Amino acid sequence: MSSASTSSLPLALSGGTRLAGGFLRELWHDKPAAIGLLVILLIIAMAIFAPLIAPYDPAAQSLIARLKPPAWLAGGSWAHPLGTDHLGRDVLSRVIWGSRATLLIGFSVVLLAGTFGVIVGLWAGYAGGRVDSLVMRLVDIQVSFPGILLILLIVSVIGPSITTMIVVLAVTNWMVYARQVRGIVMSVRQTAYVEAAEVIGCRPGRVIFRHILPNLFSPILTVAILEFTNIVLAEAAISFLGLGVQPPATSWGLDVAAARDYIFIAWWLITFPGLSIVATVLSVNLFANWVRITADPQEREKRFARAQAAKRRRARGDQATVPAE
């Protein structure tokens, strides 16, 4: 990881620690991205340490404590900070445990689909010719599939479970990676240094690992991060529709679905699991946005220029738009 990331940052000769320090300092300048990363780390910690943090068993029902509002409302108590649901289960504990399904599915799908997509993309881009046009035709066709609808049909036939979900989402989401990787491989192969490496007789394996993979790292990282948010939203939607995570397991989407019948009397039941999804996806988006810009020197310069221009404009009392100057 460290060796690959240096390729996107200028001349980090002085080793990984200073690089990481500079990276953190630069991140700190972009407050939303820094907060995003912090929230992501918190959510990951929450998922890992769920049994230690959660005050209750997420499945423990309590008929005497049904539909309790959050603590700060009349009728609420700090025994259930975020209230309880229609079966008296603690909302906070369910939110904490729910992060597990989201992250597990998100990470596994990105890993599976990403690995498969990158391999296919490398293959198509490197082999070129017939193989390439065949593989890309396949990608084109699968991209035109009616996504979630087909997933719903498949899941309803096979039977819903977390494993089904991971497999089906991975099988339907590898194409982005393949396209991206193939495009990069095609353009990198035309550069002089790869041609030179091939001319002097480097084996394909060496060419791929030494010359092509480093160029892939940052774009693939960006795609993978963005795909992660798509998968989280897809998982939530499918679970909400009842074809994803099945009870007694918990998932934020599933909890929102269960709370649907109570929206007239207990708004908190849909609010907190929903906010958890928003917080996760938003944090990842904020961080991904920053990674994309920071990995690209040109974008970096543009970002700086815009900030300067905006500062100057504010100082000048905000006149003159760009093109009319």
Partner 1 sequence: MSTPEPLLEVEQLRVEFETRAGIVHALNDVSFSIAKGETLGIVGESGSGKSVTAQAVMGLVDLPGRICGGDMRWRGRSLLGREGQRYGRSIRGKEVAMVFQDPMTSLNPLLTIGTQLCEVTERHLGLTRAQARGRAEELLAAVGISAPARRLGQHPHELSGGMRQRVMIAMAIACEPKLLIADEPTTALDVTIQAQILELIAELQQKLGLAVILITHDLGVVAGLCHRVAVMYAGRIVESADADALFTHPAHPYTQGLLRSTPSLDVVEERLASIEGTPPSLLDPPPGCPFRPRCPVAFHRCLEMPPMAPVIAGGEAACWWAMERALPENAFLGTAD
Partner 2 sequence: MGSFILRRLWQGLLVVLGVTLTVFVVTRVFGDPVSLMLPLTATAEQRAAFAHEIGLDRPLLVQFLGFMRDLVALDFGNSLWQRRPAIEVVFERLPNTLLLIVAGLGFAILASIPLGIIAALRPGGIVDRLTVSLGLIGLSMPQFWVGLLFIVIFAVQLKLLPTSGMGTPAHLILPALTLGLTPLARLTLLVRSSMIDELNQQYIKAARAKGLGLSRILGVHALRNVLISFLTLTGWELISILAGYTVVVETVFAWPGLGLTAMQAIQRGDLFLMQAIVFSIAFLIVLINIALDIAFKMIDPRINLN
Return residues touching partner 1 (CB under 8 A): 300-301, 304-305, 308-309, 312-313, 319-320, 322, 324-325
293 is in the binding site of which of partner 1, partner 2, none (Cβ under 5 to 8 A by kind)? none
Contacts 24+ apart (CB under 8 A), 196-199: none
133 belongs to the binding site for partner 2 (CB under 8 A): no
Task: Tell the smallest beta-carbon distance from residue 270 to partner 2 (Å).
Answer: 5
- Could you tell me which of 162, 167, 55, 66 has the C-alpha nearest to residue 116? 167
Task: Tell the smallest beta-carbon distance from residue 149 to partner 2 (Å).
Answer: 5
Q: Is the dihedral of CA 110, 40, 254, 233 positive or negative?
A: negative
**Contact predicate 204/126, CB 8 Å:** yes
Structure tokens at 10: 């200028």
By beta-carbon proximity to partner 1, the closer residue of 74 and 322 is 322
Task: Tell the smallest beta-carbon distance from residue 99 to partner 1 (Å).
Answer: 38
Q: Which residue has the tokens 């193939």?
A: 182
| All residues at 6 or more sequence positions from 287 whose CB lies less than 8 Å from its CB, including other chains | 33, 36, 37, 40, 225
By beta-carbon proximity to partner 1, the closer residue of 60 and 320 is 320
Residue span binding partner 2 (CB under 8 A) among the ranges 19-27, 64-72, 111-119, 278-286: 278-286
By beta-carbon proximity to partner 1, the closer residue of 133 and 308 is 308
Angle (CA) 194 15 287, round 5°: 80
By beta-carbon proximity to partner 2, the closer residue of 212 and 281 is 281
By beta-carbon proximity to partner 1, the closer residue of 206 and 300 is 300
Structure tokens at 81: 């900070």
Instruction: Give the amino acid at 240.
Output: F
Task: Tell the smallest beta-carbon distance from residue 111 to partner 1 (Å).
Answer: 35
Count the Cβ atoms, other than its own, within 10 Å of residue 11: 6
Rounded-to-integer distance, Cα 18 and Cα 11, Å? 12
Rounded-to-integer distance, Cα 253 and Cα 265, Å? 19
**Contact predicate 255/262, CB 8 Å:** no
51 is in the binding site of which of partner 2, partner 1, none (Cβ under 5 to 8 A by kind)? none
104 belongs to the binding site for partner 2 (CB under 8 A): no
By beta-carbon proximity to partner 2, the closer residue of 248 and 323 is 323
Residue 128 C-alpha from the chain's centroid? 30
Distances (CA, A) of 307 to 98, 127, 314: 39, 44, 11
Mark residues 17-46: x for contact with partner 2 by CB under 8 A, - for none: ---------------x--------------
Q: State which of residues 146, 201, 205, 317 lies at the interface with partner 2 (CB under 8 A).
A: 146
Q: Where in 62-101 is the site for partner 2 (CB under 8 A)?
A: none
Angle (CA) 168 174 176, round 5°: 135
By beta-carbon proximity to partner 1, the closer residue of 41 and 305 is 305
Q: State which of residues 208, 277, 291, 295 lies at the interface with partner 2 (CB under 8 A).
A: 277
324 belongs to the binding site for partner 2 (CB under 8 A): yes
Task: Tell the smallest beta-carbon distance from residue 136 to partner 1 (Å).
Answer: 26
Structure tokens at 90: 């603690």
**Contact predicate 98/251, CB 8 Å:** yes
Residues lying near partner 2 in the complex (CB under 8 A) are found at 32, 137, 140-142, 144-154, 156-158, 229, 233, 236-237, 240-241, 243, 253, 256-257, 260, 263-264, 267, 270-271, 274, 277-278, 281-282, 285-286, 289, 306-307, 309-310, 313-314, 318, 321-324
